[in-house]
């Protein structure tokens, strides 16, 4: 069956360190993968998209890698700040029933401590 | 990025009543809208996909007669939870995609439904 797994339910790190979050998937062949941030009681906010032919994508302090052989994406936040504390969701595009749908992992909650 | 709004942000209702949630794209035309449901500490689960002017396509296990979706215009979709029960209590999130922005979906802020 198809699965999207994110590495842990909660990740605690010290301010200034790099946070690394993992997204693994099985039985998908996504053309691209997306990362979202979700704050409590809010909808997801788009952060980055990476295509299957891209190894790495950067945006300010964020970096995403995509390894289609390992079926894994890594999401890095460098020089992390307490304001980065949130849940980070990875999502894959799935084409099914003629529709292009976004399927989400359960998310990893990140807590950055001062 | 584009803005999607939802109304109401919170609703509490009695069991057996129906609740309507509105989703609007404020500065773009949404040819496709999606409705998700999220239970605490779980991922967003896609409920249905709708294209403007067409009937919604529901995911397996989602009752189309219970969750009525209307996408009558390019800027408005509604989700009606009919005869709501406590197990329908959840966080409902809509998302919109416009023609041409094939990759990016914009999400609303969500609606917290509590059925007593």
Residue B54: the pLDDT is 82
Query: Per-residue pLDDT tens for A49-59?
Result: 998 889 899 99
Buried b / exposed e over B27-41, threshold 16 CB at 10 Å, is ebebbbbbbbbbeee
CB nearest to B107's CB, from A43, A49, A103 = A43
B97 — pLDDT class (breaks 50, 70, 90): confident
| Best residue in B2, B34, B58, B103 for a mutation probing chain A (most A CBs within 10 Å) | B103
Whether residues A43 and B103 touch (CB distance < 8 A) is answered with no
Query: Per-residue pLDDT tens for B17-66?
Result: 999 999 999 988 888 899 999 998 888 999 999 888 788 999 999 999 99
Summarize the confidence of residues A101-114 as an average pLDDT: 92
CB proximity A107 to B under 8 Å: yes
CB proximity A71 to B under 8 Å: no
Secondary structure letter of residue B27 according to DSSP: S
Q: 10 Å Cβ neighbour count for A51?
A: 12
Residue B30: the pLDDT is 85
Summarize the confidence of residues A65-72 as an average pLDDT: 92
Residue B79 has pLDDT above 60, yes or no: yes
Residue A39: the pLDDT is 95
- Do A31 and A54 touch, CB atoms closer than 8 A? no
Residue B71: the pLDDT is 87
Mean residue pLDDT of chain A comes to 90
Which residue from B minimizes the CA distance to A38?
Answer: B109
User: Residue A16, class by beta-carbon neighbours within 10 Å (0-12 exposed, 13-18 middle, 19+ buried)?
Assistant: exposed
SS3 B90: strand
């Amino acid at each position: 069956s198809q699965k999207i797994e994110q590495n842990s339910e909660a990740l605690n790190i010290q301010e200034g360190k790099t946070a690394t979050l993992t997204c693994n998937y099985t039985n998908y062949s996504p053309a691209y993968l997306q990362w979202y941030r979700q704050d409590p009681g809010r909808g997801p906010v788009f952060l980055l998209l990476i295509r299957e032919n891209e190894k790495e994508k950067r945006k300010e302090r964020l970096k995403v890698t995509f390894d289609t052989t390992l079926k894994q994406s890594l999401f890095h936040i460098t020089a992390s700040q307490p304001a980065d504390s949130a849940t980070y969701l990875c999502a894959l595009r799935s084409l099914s029933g003629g529709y292009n749908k976004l399927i989400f992992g359960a998310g990893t909650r990140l807590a950055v401590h001062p | 990025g584009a803005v999607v709004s939802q109304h109401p942000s919170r609703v509490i209702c009695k069991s057996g009543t129906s609740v309507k949630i509105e989703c609007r794209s404020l500065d773009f035309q949404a040819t496709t809208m999606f409705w998700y449901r999220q239970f605490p500490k779980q991922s967003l689960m896609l409920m249905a996909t709708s294209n403007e002017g067409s009937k919604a396509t529901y995911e397996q296990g989602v009752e189309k007669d219970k969750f009525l979706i209307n996408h009558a215009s390019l800027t408005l979709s509604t989700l009606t939870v009919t005869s709501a029960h406590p197990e329908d209590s959840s966080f409902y999130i809509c998302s919109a995609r416009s023609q041409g922005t094939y990759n990016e979906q914009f999400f609303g802020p969500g609606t917290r439904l509590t059925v007593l």
